[in-house]
Amino acid sequence: MGRPECLPRFFFSVASFFSYDQLCEWADVASTLTPPARLAVIGDPIGHSKSPQMHNPALQACGLEAQYVRVQVPVGQVKEAFGQFQKNGFLGVNITIPHKFEALEAVDFLDPLARQLGAVNTLAIRDGKLHGFNTDGPGFLRSVKEAFGAEVKDLRLLILGAGGGAGRAVAVQSVLAGCQHLLLANRTESKLAPLVQELASLGSAQVQTCSLAPADLAQQLAKVDLIVNATSVGMKAEDAPLLPAGCLEARHFVYDMVYRASGPTELIQAAEAAGAGHADGMCLLLHQGAISFEHWVPGHTAPLEAMRAGLAAANAGV
């Protein structure tokens, strides 16, 4: 992590990430950090995470002399890592792949929404206790509102990859927010049955399933407003597009949860070509991050524009 030109008062960590071993000897690391590290993101791998470039400008905008660092934590060590953060005076932690499920079991208090979504992406440490939250779901709702000027409850939703962890969370959060029409698609269709049952227990939404076969999707697209790609398709430039060519309309909203640093995914390109509204994984990163920040720093509204500018600079390689 470099020292951004726009932040002259701060000397951010120059390490790309800290190791689990370093976390266990944090007193040695802490003596080298100004301002002190009070927030972190854990994952494995973690060096690619752009969360520090979003949260450090936010901390500075709020006048808080603290910094946000990356720590690589191996699978199976999440509870121990949380103990180290607690011992060393951290305010909170973001949790990313592959630890969001392990984190569910590693907190003292689990927020009911995190329980329902089946994942913890935010730890807040308050009075020495570990509180687990999920801000991905609320971040999805906020980002839809910002990107499309619409509420999920008023939209008919198609989720591609609803059988995966991210797709399941979007489906559950959307039904909890009042969405009435959901169409779930997954490559392995058998994974959808338990989710359909679970959604039925949450409310009165009409939930249907379909395959990812191009002819099936082309027909179903006429009946939906918001299309969410929750599969990993698009992460690699060589990935074949999920949607058949030419089937998007200008009235569609397209939300690709994938973000590809090398340029827009095929799905985003197809949305642009159709004149449809679109948003990508950066939009979700921003809004889930803003909600996490407000869990850690009560009394502060997250400085969204500072966070957005930090992410834009990170994406531009500044």
Question: Would residue 100 show up in a list of annotated catalytic residues for this protein?
Answer: yes
Residue 167 contacts ligand ATR per CB under 6 A? yes
Residue 166 contacts ligand ATR per CB under 6 A? yes
Which ranges constitute the DSSP H helices of the chain?
A: 20-24, 26-30, 51-61, 78-87, 112-117, 136-148, 165-176, 192-202, 214-220, 266-274, 281-296, 304-315
Say which of 100, 145, 191, 223 is annotated catalytic. 100
From 146-154, 182-190, 196-204, 216-224, give the range in contact with ligand ATR by CB under 6 A.
182-190
CA distance 190 to 184: 12
From 49-57, 67-75, 187-195, 198-206, give the range in contact with ligand ATR by CB under 6 A.
187-195
Q: Report the nearest approach of ligand ATR to the CB of residue 7 (Å).
A: 32
Residue 164 contacts ligand ATR per CB under 6 A? yes
Of 165 and 264, the one with the shorter C-beta distance to ligand ATR is 165
Q: Which residues pair with 182 in a beta bridge?
A: 157, 207
Tokens 């962890």 belong to which residue?
165
Tokens 């927030």 belong to which residue?
39
Residues 123-162 that bind ligand ATR (CB under 6 A): 161
What is the four-CA torsion angle of 45, 290, 286, 55, rounded to 10 degrees? -60
Of 69 and 183, the one with the shorter C-beta distance to ligand ATR is 183
Widest Cα–Cα separation across the chain? 61
Q: Report the nearest approach of ligand ATR to the CB of residue 168 (Å).
A: 8
Lay out the site mask for ligand ATR across 204-233 (x = CB under 6 A, - = otherwise): --------x-----------------xxxx
| Candidate residues 153, 156, 191, 260; the one interacting with ligand ATR per rule CB under 6 A | 191
CA distance 304 to 203: 32
What does the DSSP 8-state code read for residue 155?
Answer: S
Which stretches of the chain bind ligand ATR, using CB under 6 A? 161, 163-167, 186-188, 191, 212, 230-233
